Amino acid sequence: MIKQTTINKCTACTSCVIDCPVTAATREFKGPKLLGPGLERFRLFEQDVEASIDYCTNCKNCDITCPSDVGVSTLNMLAKNEFYKRKGHRLRDWILSHGELFARLSSPVAAIANWGMAFPLTRMVLSALGIADRPLPAYHKTDFYQQFHALRQQPYEQKVVFYPGCYIGFNAPQVGMDLVHLLQANGYEVIVPDVVCCGTPVVSNGYMDEAREKAQHNIRALAVWAQKGYPILTCCTSCGLMLKQEYLELYDIEGSQQVAEQHYDAGEFLVELKDKGQLKTDFKAIEGSYLYHAPCHLRAQGIGLPGLELLQNIDGMKIAEIDAGCCGIAGSYGFKKEKYDISLAIGKNLFQAIKACPGATVVTECGTCQLQIGHVTKAATIHPISLLYAAWESNKQASSEAE
């Protein structure tokens, strides 16, 4: 069952229109106020669906700014689901929203798959299907799950559960391993349950029924640990938003409240340890200058910017927040041919700010933000957890050299 959000709290203040990055970037999109609470009234009676809903990225900036807690993005995703039920999906949208399937198939033959994705004939086929001409995320031969299960952890009494998600699972396994090492260094044993994709890509592409199946699987796998009181950590901000908020908004699944209550962004968990005086803070600043970009789905969690806070606490670390808005990629959105230019227009201010600091490395939690930033600005990118772990390792190395 999909929950219905309320539309009656909308006071038509227009804040969501002002802060919607897609409304600012294209006239194809008619804006959150009209398409969300405005047309929902109409849809409730007429069962009509406005085609421009397809341009909503589900970035959540409307929800962040809305003073009345309307839940505009969820209204939009429900409307998109209806839209696609009537219109039917393109093969391209199915491919882009099932990255987990392709990742599981491709990882064992990562080198061939990565070469094949860049092969001119493959690019021609992808282009004909409506996929933009931009690099696709590369796979790793040894995915996170293999690396994690090969690791001999110290068996500590304190335990946390880690939900890696597809991107860290298959495209950026090192981020997950860096978190595991940091947690081990702080006396935590890490549990990784049998989970599947959180469902963000299928929700954004109008496959709500499939998203519910994924939610049911993940809640079943995580609720058993939540009931024991174990913290549940994520490093990907979209996966985190799903566990913390979206499963609750979209579905009535037993256990989802407990999972949401036990969920922490990895940075949020480490900040909490630091505030309690329980985080080992022997970090050594890593050379270079760093710019921090906050992903929209982190800001939507309402937990501040914990990754930035941790890094700014390291003596001598040169890191500053960019605060220039959405990067525009929105998961699969920026990979769609007809949305590619819009995604670049959305991220224009961010790209300008990064280009104004040549040589700086961009720090951000979101893997697809990293892809967009690297693609447009050519800047190097890193996850804050990996930079933090590098700072930990660097201090350890300096101490052992001094002995």
Q: Give the shortest CB-369-to-ligand SF4 separation in angstroms.
A: 14
* Burial (CB count <10 Å: 0-12, 13-18, 19+), residue 16: buried
Please compute Rg for the chain using Cα positions.
Answer: 21
Q: Give the shortest CB-357-to-ligand SF4 separation in angstroms.
A: 27
What is the full DSSP assignment across 359-373? TPEEE-S-HHHHHHH
Show the tokens assigned to 391.
Answer: 């700072």
Name the residue nearer to ligand SF4 (CB basis): 296 or 376: 296
Q: Give the shortest CB-17-to-ligand SF4 separation in angstroms.
A: 7
Cβ–Cβ under 8 Å, residues 57 and 204: yes
Name the residue nearer to ligand SF4 (CB basis): 98 or 339: 339
Name the residue nearer to ligand SF4 (CB basis): 24 or 380: 24
Name the residue nearer to ligand SF4 (CB basis): 72 or 78: 72
DSSP state of 54: G
Name the residue nearer to ligand SF4 (CB basis): 266 or 327: 327
Q: Give the shortest CB-261-to-ligand SF4 separation in angstroms.
A: 25
Q: Give the shortest CB-296-to-ligand SF4 separation in angstroms.
A: 7
Name the residue nearer to ligand SF4 (CB basis): 200 or 262: 200
| Cα–Cα nearest to 97, from 208, 21, 23 | 208
Render the burial of 68-100: b for 16+ CB within 10 Å, e for the rest.
Answer: bebbbbbbbbbbbbbbbeeeeeeebbebbbbbb
Distances (CA, A) of 1 to 197, 210, 239, 255: 19, 12, 21, 15
Cβ–Cβ under 8 Å, residues 383 and 366: no
* Burial (CB count <10 Å: 0-12, 13-18, 19+), residue 134: middle
Name the residue nearer to ligand SF4 (CB basis): 33 or 244: 33
* Residues making contact with ligand SF4 (CB under 6 A): 10-16, 20, 22, 32-33, 36-37, 56-62, 65-66, 68, 70, 72-73, 76
Q: Give the shortest CB-330-to-ligand SF4 separation in angstroms.
A: 8
* Burial (CB count <10 Å: 0-12, 13-18, 19+), residue 367: buried
Q: Give the shortest CB-71-to-ligand SF4 separation in angstroms.
A: 8
**Distance between start and end Cα atoms, the chain:** 62
Name the residue nearer to ligand SF4 (CB basis): 26 or 313: 26
| Cα–Cα nearest to 229, from 182, 269, 186, 261 | 261
Name the residue nearer to ligand SF4 (CB basis): 171 or 368: 368
Show the tokens assigned to 215.
Answer: 């939610």
Name the residue nearer to ligand SF4 (CB basis): 13 or 151: 13
Q: Give the shortest CB-79-to-ligand SF4 separation in angstroms.
A: 11
Q: Give the shortest CB-398-to-ligand SF4 separation in angstroms.
A: 44
Show the tokens assigned to 389.
Answer: 């772990």
* 382 DSSP β-pair partners: 363
Q: Give the shortest CB-347-to-ligand SF4 separation in angstroms.
A: 13
DSSP state of 108: G
DSSP state of 318: E
| Cα–Cα nearest to 236, from 205, 198, 209, 207 | 198
Q: Give the shortest CB-81-to-ligand SF4 separation in angstroms.
A: 14
Name the residue nearer to ligand SF4 (CB basis): 339 or 383: 339
